[in-house]
Amino acid sequence: MEKLLADLNLRYELNVPLGPLTWYGVGGPAAALAHPSSIQQLSSLLVRCREAGKEVYILGQGANLLVSDRGVDGVVVKLDDPNFSGMEKQNQKIVAGAGMDLARLVLQAAKAGLAGLECVAGIPASLGGAVRMNAGGAFGDIGRSVKRLQVMDASGQVYYRQRDDLMFGYRSTNIVAKCILQVEMDLTPDDPEELIKRVKEIFLYKKNSQPLADHSAGCAYKNPDAPGEDEMANLPRALLRVPVAREGRYSAGMLIDRAGLKGYRVGGAEVSPQHANFIVCYPGCTATNVLEVMTHVEQVVLDTFGIRLQREVVVWP
């Protein structure tokens, strides 16, 4: 790894534990952690890794990430250099680096009297991670504010993706590029005081309904689609008693709760007693504990309701 990176004129460290860089706080090391300070450096790094057959992983704030106990035998890139985390306001538009802290961006936009990002208040993320996951919730998602993206593909080429060819779905996007570099957002003028009030309200709503202080990756599972009318006759009886929560989907948390799994624990990992879609880590927890809880939850929900839960949390490798 040293040989691979040494002449790239890039800041990096070898054999870095990734747990402390994620919200779960568990998992093994990365063979290397790189902090490029320019597009050119990142591009050279991607070219070099591609030639050497080494995988590159992009790390945001690790708020939706579970790193396995083995860690990753590749290069993890963190866009924490100021060149990747600045922001500029241009009339109704904000252009910001993908490494920018989402909470800071939300507040800056509100203070500048630009509406549209309040809906993601309280969601821990880098801007790039938020766009990649289309972070959001009951109040909306970040995708609806995105106008244009500057991205880099795995061969180090930079290009732009325009609003028209971007698709933002429920916790999903059609972004296939290796790395989001910069995000251009189209916002709406509004009263800064009202916006700041709204940001605080949404933050409090989240704080009161989710275990924000515990180690977790937020919701472990996506809310599954409810079946169509024609499938109703064949549904397991237990599922008929579960109400469809929102936008034609069941709440994954409600399914896990009704399957009796709140408080289910393996080692230091537990299905949160406060919010069943959160798997939280206590001292001594390992990534294997979290994965064991997930495997059990998935099996019990499948057996009880005939529903295969889809993971929202990204697992490395």
Residues near ligand FAD (CB under 6 A):
23, 57-65, 79, 98, 123-126, 128-130, 132-133, 135-137, 171, 179-180, 210, 212, 216-218, 314
- Determine which helix (DSSP H) or strand (DSSP E) holds 280, and give its type and residue range: strand 279-281
- Comparing CB distances to ligand FAD, the nearer of 113 and 116 is 116
CA–CA gap between residue 285 and residue 280 (Å, rounded)? 9
- According to DSSP H, which parts of 191-286 are helical? 192-209, 237-240, 252-258
Query: What residues form DSSP beta bridges with 13?
Result: 33
Our CB check for ligand FAD shows the closer of 43 and 304 to be 43
312 is catalytic: yes
Q: Which is nearer to ligand FAD, 152 or 301 (CB)?
A: 152
Show Cβ contacts of residue 57 under 8 Å, excluding neighbours closer than 6 positions. Answer: 30, 72, 74, 75, 76, 77, 316
Our answer to whether residue 219 is catalytic in this structure is yes
Q: Helices 192-209 and 102-111: crossing angle, nearest 10°?
A: 150
Look at the chain and count its residues.
317
Work out the number of other CB atoms within 10 angstroms of the CB of residue 11.
Answer: 15
State in angstroms the smallest separation of the CB of 180 from ligand FAD. 4
- Cα separations in angstroms, 167 against 121, 129, 131, 173, 258: 22, 16, 11, 5, 33
Least spacing, CB of residue 95 vs ligand FAD, in Å: 15
* Residue with smaller CB distance to ligand FAD, 113 or 129: 129
Catalytic residue among 119, 179, 219, 285: 219
Tokens standing for residue 80: 């924490």
50 is a catalytic site residue: no
Q: Exactly one of 48, 161, 171, 258 is catalytic; name it.
A: 171
Catalytic residue set: 171, 219, 312
